[in-house]
Chain A
Amino acid sequence: MNQFSELTWQGLWKNNPGLVQLLGLCPLLAVTTTLTNALGMSVATILVMVGSNITVSLVRQWIPREIRIPIFVMIIAGFVTCVQLLFNAYAYGLYQSLGIFLPLIVTNCIIIGRVEAFASKNAVIPSAYDGFIMGVGFSLVLLLLGAVREILGQGTLFDGADLLLGDWASILRIEFIEFEQSFLFIMLPPGAFVALGLILALKNSLNAKVEAAVVPVQIIEKPERARINKVS
């Protein structure tokens, strides 16, 4: 496996930030009430991750080890501010519906985790790819959770897509069932915890199959059973 396919495998499945590292639970649970919110959060997170990974990788030679964390946080905060201003300008409805969770991307552990663990030790191109693919892995979980919660909670999909994609996108809205009242439990954080738990269970039950399909079978010689107590 070359470096890029290894990174892809790590980011999307083996070391998925949402399902395996369980990082960034705050946005994962709080903003996935609808698919549109999840999509907006995904775009924002990927942009910040790619941007901060590239920047940190570029300047990694000049960052003193002792104060690296504050520097990383400042770089990430810079990108988050950019993204926040972009959302404010081009997707104001979504900006309002994401609310505090957009600036809170600064504190998302996935980003500082990738910057610290990968970008500060690797060249620019792999770092950019790592940020991108980890972001995609996180986004897939966000989108899945958003879709499940939106369908179960209010019976629709892509509700409010026009907030993110412009007016034409209101045709994307699909209504599966018309609910008299939305199922509030699913829309509130406890529902997110339950749904995330079920997705985790699903991932774990599929894990063996997927790993067998992706990772080429390596023949590992079984070591001889060592004798622990010496028999003289």
Chain B
Amino acid sequence: MFLSVSPSPHRVGHANVSAVMRNVALATLPGVATLFFFFGYGVLIQIVLCVLTAMLTEAFILKVRKRAITPILKDNSALLTGLLLGISIPPLAPWWIAVIGVAFAVIVAKQLYGGLGFNLFNPAMIGYVVLLISFPVAMTNWPVPFEISQYQLSFFDHLSAIFTGVTSGGLTVNELRQTVDGVTMATPLDSLKTDLTLGLTSSESQTKNVFGSFAGLGWEWVNIAFLAGGLWLLKLRVIRWHIPVAVIASLMFFSFIGYILNPDSHGTPLFHLLSGATMFGAFFIATDPVTAATSNKGRLLYGVIIGLLLYVIRNYGGFPDALAFAVLLANITVPVIDYYSKPTTYGHRK
């Protein structure tokens, strides 16, 4: 038996970067499966494309930087960046969107800062924001869930739509987004936002068929699946409860206030919690150990900032969903939060 004679702590965790990243990647599986169920093969094609690009770009830039390629690739961080961005990209977006976004995320947002552990901003979200401000049309073209979609697409239809812009039957991506009524519909968050500017109240808007029984059709289940994956991460103790709980609680609190004050122009708190990227962001994006705050108090504050920004930008900003912006803006505040939330050492009195 090995007897450790070092000073305490004597019990140390044996988590390493590779295992942590692998567990986070595995925990996205329920969410990915649900996305696949509602939106088809495009989801998987984008993820594969993004992961491959991430690995290749990382290998390339490590070669340029004269670093060991295989050991660093094995830490799975490039894989995770690719995976998270692949989940965020609309399933029918053209292939070069994924390539540009992932390459920018890995090269500029991660490796130019010095690689894993040195990046100030979440690489996947930088890639997403670059894509969103550069190609706003392609990046907000989410198709409707299969239940109300006019066309049922095969794997090859998706492949051909992503790589050539039209399916084998000659349908463009915009036509593929039509519902059974022949109308192109946006995501629930997007259509709520548009309807409110058109003068509809939020309850009138929510009678449309993109809305499901309690939030957006399809999206509510996607969010619940990501919530399940996130809870599994909590159970494995890969992430701590502070950030997700703070994000969800503050989003719920602020959307509750908005809903109480003016129910006609706001979605319900439940709608906000189960729409767009809320759960995915709270458990998988905001908890990135490199870019999030590091003390427990700091984590709570960081989560509250994300929840508040999420609510403010969704309701008053120019974009329908705001997770990427909220996380990046909160990333900027992390050095200050960390400075003011240093835990006191044992035995110190304030």
Which residues of chain A have a CB within 8 Å of any CB of chain B? 180-181, 183-186, 188, 194
Instruction: Give Cα A76 to B350, complex, Å.
Output: 58
B152-167 vs A: 1/0 string, CB under 8 Å?
0000000000000000
Q: Are A181 and B135 in contact (CB under 8 A)?
A: yes
Instruction: Give Cα A81 to B138, complex, Å.
Output: 44
Q: Are B108 and A184 in contact (CB under 8 A)?
A: no
- Note all chain B residues with C-beta closer than 8 A to A184: 133-136
Instruction: Give Cα A152 to B33, complex, Å.
Output: 36
Cβ-based interface call for B137 (8 A): yes
**Which B79-135 residues have a C-beta within 8 angstroms of A?**
94, 100, 108, 130, 133-135
The 9 closest A-B pairs by CB, nearest first: A185-B134, A184-B134, A185-B130, A183-B134, A181-B135, A185-B133, A184-B133, A194-B108, A188-B133
- Note all chain B residues with C-beta closer than 8 A to A185: 130, 133-134
Instruction: Give Cα A188 to B133, complex, Å.
Output: 9
Instruction: Give Cα A188 to B132, complex, Å.
Output: 13
Q: How far is the CB of A201 from chain B (nearest CB, A)?
A: 9
Write the chain B residue with the least CB distance to A185.
B134
Write the chain A residue with the least CB distance to B94.
A180
Instruction: Give Cα A122 to B135, complex, Å.
Output: 52
- Note all chain A residues with C-beta closer than 8 A to B136: 184
Q: List 10 A-B contacts (CB under 8 A).
A: A181-B134, A181-B135, A181-B137, A181-B138, A183-B100, A184-B133, A184-B135, A185-B130, A185-B133, A186-B134
Q: How far is the CB of B286 from chain A (nearest CB, A)?
A: 23
Most chain A beta carbons < 10 A, residue from B108, B134, B135, B138? B134
Instruction: Give Cα A215 to B133, complex, Å.
Output: 45
Interface size class of B (residues with CB under 8 A): 10 to 19
- Note all chain A residues with C-beta closer than 8 A to B135: 181, 183-184
Instruction: Give Cα A184 to B136, complex, Å.
Output: 9
Q: How far is the CB of A30 from chain B (nearest CB, A)?
A: 17
- Note all chain B residues with C-beta closer than 8 A to A181: 134-135, 137-138
- Note all chain A residues with C-beta closer than 8 A to B130: 185
Write the chain A residue with the least CB distance to B100.
A183
- Note all chain B residues with C-beta closer than 8 A to A194: 108
Instruction: Give Cα A184 to B135, complex, Å.
Output: 7
Q: How far is the CB of A125 from chain B (nearest CB, A)?
A: 45
Instruction: Give Cα A188 to B108, complex, Å.
Output: 16
- Note all chain A residues with C-beta closer than 8 A to B108: 194
Task: A183-B135, A185-B134, A188-B133 are known; give 15 further A-B pairs, CB within 8 A.
Answer: A180-B94, A181-B134, A181-B135, A181-B137, A181-B138, A183-B100, A183-B134, A184-B133, A184-B134, A184-B135, A184-B136, A185-B130, A185-B133, A186-B134, A194-B108
Write the chain B residue with the least CB distance to A181.
B135
Q: How far is the CB of A72 from chain B (nearest CB, A)?
A: 38
- Note all chain A residues with C-beta closer than 8 A to B94: 180
Q: How far is the CB of A187 from chain B (nearest CB, A)?
A: 9
Instruction: Give Cα A188 to B129, complex, Å.
Output: 13
Instruction: Give Cα A186 to B133, complex, Å.
Output: 10
Write the chain B residue with the least CB distance to A184.
B134
Instruction: Give Cα A194 to B134, complex, Å.
Output: 15
Q: How far is the CB of B215 from chain A (nearest CB, A)?
A: 31
Q: How far is the CB of A159 from chain B (nearest CB, A)?
A: 18
Q: How far is the CB of B119 from chain A (nearest CB, A)?
A: 15
Q: How far is the CB of A70 from chain B (nearest CB, A)?
A: 39
Write the chain B residue with the least CB distance to A183.
B134
Instruction: Give Cα A184 to B132, complex, Å.
Output: 10
Most chain B beta carbons < 10 A, residue from A183, A185, A188, A194? A185
Instruction: Give Cα A231 to B100, complex, Å.
Output: 64
Q: How far is the CB of A148 from chain B (nearest CB, A)?
A: 15
Write the chain B residue with the least CB distance to A188.
B133
**Which B39-72 residues have a C-beta within 8 angstroms of A?**
none
**Which B136-158 residues have a C-beta within 8 angstroms of A?**
136-138
- Note all chain B residues with C-beta closer than 8 A to A188: 133
- Note all chain A residues with C-beta closer than 8 A to B134: 181, 183-186
Instruction: Give Cα A194 to B103, complex, Å.
Output: 14
Q: How far is the CB of A90 from chain B (nearest CB, A)?
A: 35
- Note all chain A residues with C-beta closer than 8 A to B100: 183
Write the chain A residue with the least CB distance to B104.
A185
Most chain A beta carbons < 10 A, residue from B94, B100, B130, B138? B130
Instruction: Give Cα A194 to B130, complex, Å.
Output: 12
Q: How far is the CB of A33 from chain B (nearest CB, A)?
A: 14
Q: How far is the CB of A103 from chain B (nearest CB, A)?
A: 29
- Note all chain B residues with C-beta closer than 8 A to A183: 100, 134-135
Write the chain B residue with the least CB distance to A197.
B112
Instruction: Give Cα A184 to B130, complex, Å.
Output: 9
Instruction: Give Cα A181 to B100, complex, Å.
Output: 13
Write the chain A residue with the least CB distance to B131.
A185
Instruction: Give Cα A194 to B126, complex, Å.
Output: 13
Instruction: Give Cα A163 to B209, complex, Å.
Output: 51
Instruction: Give Cα A146 to B138, complex, Å.
Output: 26
- Note all chain A residues with C-beta closer than 8 A to B137: 181
Instruction: Give Cα A180 to B97, complex, Å.
Output: 12
Instruction: Give Cα A180 to B164, complex, Å.
Output: 12
Instruction: Give Cα A186 to B135, complex, Å.
Output: 11
Instruction: Give Cα A33 to B108, complex, Å.
Output: 20
